[in-house]
Amino acid sequence: MKLLHYGPLGQEKPGMLDKDGRIRDLSGKVANFAGSTLLPESLDALRAIDPMTLPLIEGNPRLGACVAGTGKFICIGLNYSDHAAETGATVPPEPIIFMKATSAIVGPNDPVEIPRGSLKTDWEVELGVVIGKTAKYVSEAEAMDYVAGYCVINDVSERAFQAERQGQWTKGKSCDTFGPTGPWLVTADEIDDPQNLKMHLEVNGRKFQDGSTKTMIYGVRYLVSYLSQFMSLLPGDIISTGTPPGVGLGQKPNIFLKAGDVVTLGIEGLGMQRQEFYQG
Q: What is the pTM of this model?
A: 0.96
Say how far apart CA 16 and CA 133 lie, in whole Å. 21
Q: Quick one: average pLDDT of 32-56?
A: 97
Cβ atoms of residues 213 and 199 within 8 Å: yes
Q: Quick one: average pLDDT of 34-62?
A: 97
> Collapsing DSSP states into helix, strand and coil, what is residue 145?
helix
Say how far apart CA 219 and CA 273 lie, in whole Å. 23
pLDDT exceeds cutoff 90 at 165: no
Identify the CA nearest to 29 among candidates 3, 11, 8: 3
> What residue ranges do the domains of the chain occupy?
68-279
Say how far apart CA 124 and CA 256 lie, in whole Å. 12
Q: 157 vs 166, which has greater pLDDT?
A: 157
SS3 content of the chain, % helix, strand, coil (to 5): 20, 30, 50
Identify the CA nearest to 123 among candidates 185, 69, 177: 177
Say how far apart CA 184 and CA 195 lie, in whole Å. 19
pLDDT exceeds cutoff 90 at 125: yes
pLDDT exceeds cutoff 90 at 166: no
Identify the CA nearest to 184 among candidates 26, 50, 44: 26
Q: Quick one: average pLDDT of 250-257?
A: 96
135: which DSSP letter? B
pLDDT exceeds cutoff 80 at 87: no
Report the pLDDT value the prediction gives residue 57, as an integer from 0 to 100: 98
Place domain 68-279 in its CATH homologous superfamily.
Fumarylacetoacetase-like, C-terminal domain (3.90.850.10)
**Going by DSSP bridges, is the β-strand pair 112-114/271-279 parallel, antiparallel, or unpaired?**
parallel
**Cis amide leading into 115 (omega within 30):** no
| Burial of 90: CB neighbours in 10 Å, binned 0-12, 13-18, 19+ | exposed
